Structure 1
């Protein structure tokens, strides 16, 4: 079918309970988009949530913001729904957070400023996110933060009338205490609380508690201002004083977006050149920019759209693809991928550069050697695993807090006889997942391809 052949659906970027997000690369222009694929048969509430998510995205599309992911289009094919989004090549924010360390303060300050700016814009539109966490915050090629995943978002204000929320939703460590209490709550303070927890995580590299409940000793200690334990001992006095106002247990005492923006810690302007220079000094891996990619791939320079950020030339895909007649479904839904067969050489070259800063790494081994190595490593680390296919493993364990942590490891055959090990979180906290990833990666240090 016209339109399918132009796009290589090359890799799963993430997954959830009801679907997954795939990266699509145009083999004509090298443009990239993200496609969220949702199976509405898995739960009766999914269809309603998808429609609500698309309605929210349409509202944001009419009033865009630089720190909110761009919505491109929506299509459906029976029970399978597709949401087309801007591809954020910088990966997820939690990839930047070093477990137990966090990130440099100037970066955390800048990302928090952008997060507050984007959430403030959503609130002005009458939209609440309700699941703010590092896994739902992406970065573009210029390291600007992008808010994404509006699956739990809803409208709290319409035509000047504001309503309280009643649904208990979100991720417990990031949720506000009033949300978990099961009582009607105001949407805006709840989102602001979640932003504050994200800030703690960026600064300290750990969560302050499993949930803001009186049954959790860490939260009780926070309420009593007993701050002699981590993460608070890692923070500066001014940061704690600011967080005391953002993480006020009583939502009526919590800072509003307007008040946050008047705080000196937030008002401080962070010059981009200074941020970039500090990133270089810290040796934070950066994905190759489009310009650098074009320089390293001379054949791409003549292709239209390689340096195009507007996404205008992607529009034709939504006009030419008819999901009611999937003559080539293999182009749209790929549960696994052998890149040597499923994608063009140009696409493979781009993909190898895109994955550098994600939870993936490239090793110089055959597939059989990689299988033996991964099984040996997981066994040594005492991680329970199951091989579900020759190229995929599932790991089910408990994190340091005793919470369930599940992730998948995919082995992908790349160019030059290399194997890409792709780690994807299925369930659990992103920071704890990062810890497990780093433990596994350390065991592969003798065979990791230089630069990965």
Structure 2
């Protein structure tokens, strides 16, 4: 119901804004500073409002390749629905030129998340958890309004400072209401969900001349964003991707899927599985799950450096079955614990040292108590 209401409200805003869009000459009102980014959608320029002196990002959409309705949908969605602090918001300025549709939005003055990921290394563990905490809230906010982002990736996450203490998810061109249907489009990326694999198979069959071109339609679900968040966690922690594409043609993905299948079988044989066991224990803290996990089924090689805690999270987000995928809110349950193997080992070492120290204190206290009893003649 929320998705239907939100979609209707967005359509109404687009209709009204279409009546009031003006035509401006950009140079009369803005001083262009530099190019922030460009792609198939158009380009984004850092600009200064000449009258107010306010820095902002101007997003330019070529009129030849952009419909007015798609431009107005992205603008109004960003203006009226993106009220979470980690969502990029439009600034209420939109206009057209002879060649572009343009709207102004908050500027990410420190670039995007892609620019800070070190290849083969990623970013610091604390930074990863900060970023994912913010994105969990931002994506959950969109979902609560009935929308799915459908294009979460490092290039669409913008930095408000150099330490990733404040990030904003942007680029809402592919956002669609929950439950709507869209044409399944396969693209060669680890962010592409496995449920779109039939579209790739169809493309190959068409190329071979075995089938006629046809459209495959899928329903837009929030699980699409959960998958992307899972891939993003891995990317930030390692500076790599877990696989090139999430299809059975990819050896790395096949290994992951086989590991996941073995995990499921082992759980079925353990008195109803892990979820049933958690209900019987005194705590549901996911950080304790990894301690009970059997070692007979180690994760695939590409996950070797990740802790048992984050592997449990990735199993939730990167489940091949959309209906079994965890929600973005679940990320919050895994914050604060170790996400890298080295950190996990260090925490265990410190815990062991603390336990030894506690034993020494207890033993010392016992000796002192015994001496005191002897002094009182109580022996």
What is the root-mean-square deviation in Å for CA atoms of aligned residues?
A: 2.5
- C-alpha displacement at 1:266, in angstroms? 3.4
- C-alpha displacement at 1:138, in angstroms? 0.5
Within 5 Å, which residues of 2 pair with 1:280-359? none
| Inter-partner Cα distance in structure 2 for 1:69 and 1:258 | 20
| Inter-partner Cα distance in structure 2 for 1:60 and 1:170 | 28
| Inter-partner Cα distance in structure 1 for 2:128 and 2:25 | 45
Out of 301, 307, 317, the position equivalent to 1:236 is 307
Q: Secondary structure at the match of 2:78?
A: helix
Q: What stretches of structure 1 of length at least 5 have no aligned partner?
A: 157-161, 269-452
Q: Which residue of 2 aligns with 1:192?
A: 226
Out of 132, 137, 143, the position equivalent to 1:112 is 132
Q: Secondary structure at the match of 1:184?
A: strand
Q: Structure 1 residues 179, 46: CA separation in 2 closer, same or farther (over 3 Å shift)? A: farther
| Inter-partner Cα distance in structure 2 for 1:258 and 1:18 | 30
Larger Rg over CA atoms: 2
Q: Which residue of 2 aligns with 1:179?
A: 196
Q: Which residue of 1 aligns with 2:369?
A: none
Out of 149, 172, 179, the position equivalent to 1:150 is 172
| Inter-partner Cα distance in structure 2 for 1:165 and 1:258 | 25
CA offsets 1:177-215 (integer angstroms, 9 cap, x no match): 113434524420011100111111000001111211111
- C-alpha displacement at 1:47, in angstroms? 4.2
Q: Structure 1 residues 94, 213: CA separation in 2 closer, same or farther (over 3 Å shift)? A: same
Q: Structure 1 residues 210, 3: CA separation in 2 closer, same or farther (over 3 Å shift)? A: closer
Tell me the TM-score normalised to structure 1 length. Answer: 0.52
Judge conservation of contact 1:18–1:40 (CA < 8 Å) in 2: no
Q: Which residue of 1 aligns with 2:247?
A: 213
Judge conservation of contact 2:26–2:97 (CA < 8 Å) in 1: no
Instruction: Return 27-36 or 91-100, whichever deviates more.
Output: 27-36
Q: Which residue of 1 aligns with 2:263?
A: none
Judge conservation of contact 2:176–2:220 (CA < 8 Å) in 1: no
Judge conservation of contact 1:18–1:46 (CA < 8 Å) in 2: no
Judge conservation of contact 1:177–1:213 (CA < 8 Å) in 2: yes
| Inter-partner Cα distance in structure 2 for 1:168 and 1:2 | 37
Q: Secondary structure at the match of 1:13?
A: strand
- C-alpha displacement at 1:173, in angstroms? 1.8
Judge conservation of contact 1:91–1:139 (CA < 8 Å) in 2: yes
Q: Structure 1 residues 228, 173: CA separation in 2 closer, same or farther (over 3 Å shift)? A: closer
- C-alpha displacement at 1:146, in angstroms? 0.2
| Inter-partner Cα distance in structure 2 for 1:171 and 1:146 | 25
Q: Which residue of 2 aligns with 1:432?
A: none
Number of equivalenced pairs: 256
Q: Decide which structure has greater strand share.
A: 1
Tell me the TM-score normalised to structure 2 length. Answer: 0.62
Q: Secondary structure at the match of 1:24?
A: strand
Whether 2:120 is the aligned partner of 1:100: answer yes
Q: Which residue of 2 aligns with 1:80?
A: 100
Q: Structure 1 residues 215, 170: CA separation in 2 closer, same or farther (over 3 Å shift)? A: closer
Q: What stretches of structure 2 of length at least 5 have no aligned partner?
A: 1-23, 200-216, 260-297, 338-379
| Inter-partner Cα distance in structure 2 for 1:39 and 1:136 | 19
Q: Structure 1 residues 191, 25: CA separation in 2 closer, same or farther (over 3 Å shift)? A: same
Q: Which residue of 2 aligns with 1:133?
A: 153
Q: Which residue of 2 aligns with 1:33?
A: 56
| Inter-partner Cα distance in structure 2 for 1:267 and 1:186 | 32
Judge conservation of contact 1:67–1:146 (CA < 8 Å) in 2: yes
Out of 32, 43, 59, the position equivalent to 2:80 is 59
Q: Which residue of 1 aligns with 2:238?
A: 204
Q: Write out the 4+ residue segments of structure 1 that deviate beyond 6 Å after TM superposition.
A: none
CA offsets 1:225-256 (integer angstroms, 9 cap, x no match): 273423x1221221112111110111111112
CA offsets 1:19-47 (integer angstroms, 9 cap, x no match): 11101024676531000111121x3x654
Q: Structure 1 residues 20, 169: CA separation in 2 closer, same or farther (over 3 Å shift)? A: farther
Q: Decide which structure has greater helix share.
A: 2
